[in-house]
Amino acid sequence: MADSDSGEHPRYDVPVMSAPVPFLAPPPPRFRLPQVALTVALAAVVILGVIAVFRKGTLPAVDEIDPGLLAEPVQRPTTRETFSFEYRGVTYDVEPVAEYEIQGLVVAHNDTSSIGDVYHDSSSVDTKDVGMIWGDNLRTDDFRKCEYRSGSWTCYVEWPAGVKFHLDSMSNTHIVTGDDEVRGEVGRIRVGDQVRLTGLLVNYRDGRRPDSWRRSSTVRQDTGNGACEVMFLEEIEFLDRGTPVWYLVYELAWWLAPAILVAKGVLWMIGFRASRAR
């Protein structure tokens, strides 16, 4: 007689081997060390870049100021006649007001490439607006306790209680020039630089708008709208560059970090293909 079926059957545990997900498979050993090296390099570049953000543009100590910056700007009457120059197909008329030379410490400038500056771009005849201090402001370390910032056409300064600051030893200079080489040098001006600028205080207009003149201030004691000097720059000299190493580190970080990420991606792709070929 056959045994009755109780409804229970033997149970067998059979191991199941799942196939590895190709893109999660570890790369061949020869690719691991370069990936680690690139990761370490990327971390170092990012850390140095962050440090550079805070260190670039640090203003020099008072004993690092060029003695020439303690002098007042030199302004003399001019006999120069009205003249014109062309920039990007547009003619600009220039009315000289005074001969002018200034030596100053750059504390701020506008960023003509920023989306926040809707008035300037690469086609603008205006180059940088340069905020500078000189004279009595540089005789003590108080100037390093102030906060400086630039707008599209303005320069601002704030200082805490107990700090002495001389507004008549600060200017925001609108710079125009008809010389491409000088324009290129203006583009290199950075916060912390000590510079000598030589040229003319001028009124100027776009030839397409004959009734609209941008006029220069001729005194250092005024403030507010119309207080800025408009300078037709003919010569620029860098007396000392401000934190050049940190500016270089900052610029290199912007280029190196994406390059390392691309290199890591390319190496990963090569390793992925090599792992699939195994």
Taking only the tens place, the pLDDT of each residue in 212-244 is 888 999 888 887 777 889 999 999 999 999 999
pLDDT band for position 5 (cuts 50, 70, 90): low
Judge if 211 and 74 occupy the same domain: yes
Report if residue 265 sits inside a domain: yes
Closest Cα partner for 169 from 225, 229, 104? Answer: 104
Over its C-alpha atoms, the chain yields an Rg (Å, rounded) of 31
CB 66 within 8 A of CB 239: yes
Report if residue 13 sits inside a domain: no
* Stronger pLDDT, 145 or 22, i.e. the higher one: 145
pLDDT band for position 78 (cuts 50, 70, 90): very high
Judge if 251 and 238 occupy the same domain: no
Give the range of the structural domain holding residue 42, as residue numbers without chain letter.
29-56+247-277
Judge if 68 and 40 occupy the same domain: no
DSSP run (H or E) holding 181: helix 180-186
Closest Cα partner for 101 from 83, 129, 128, 78? Answer: 78
Judge if 256 and 177 occupy the same domain: no
Residue where the block lists tokens 């190196």? 256
* Stronger pLDDT, 75 or 119, i.e. the higher one: 75
Q: What is the mean pLDDT of residues 265-273?
A: 81
Judge if 234 and 252 occupy the same domain: no
Domain count, the chain: 2
Report if residue 202 sits inside a domain: yes
Q: According to the model, what pLDDT value does residue 117 have?
A: 61
What is the pTM (predicted TM-score) of this model?
0.79
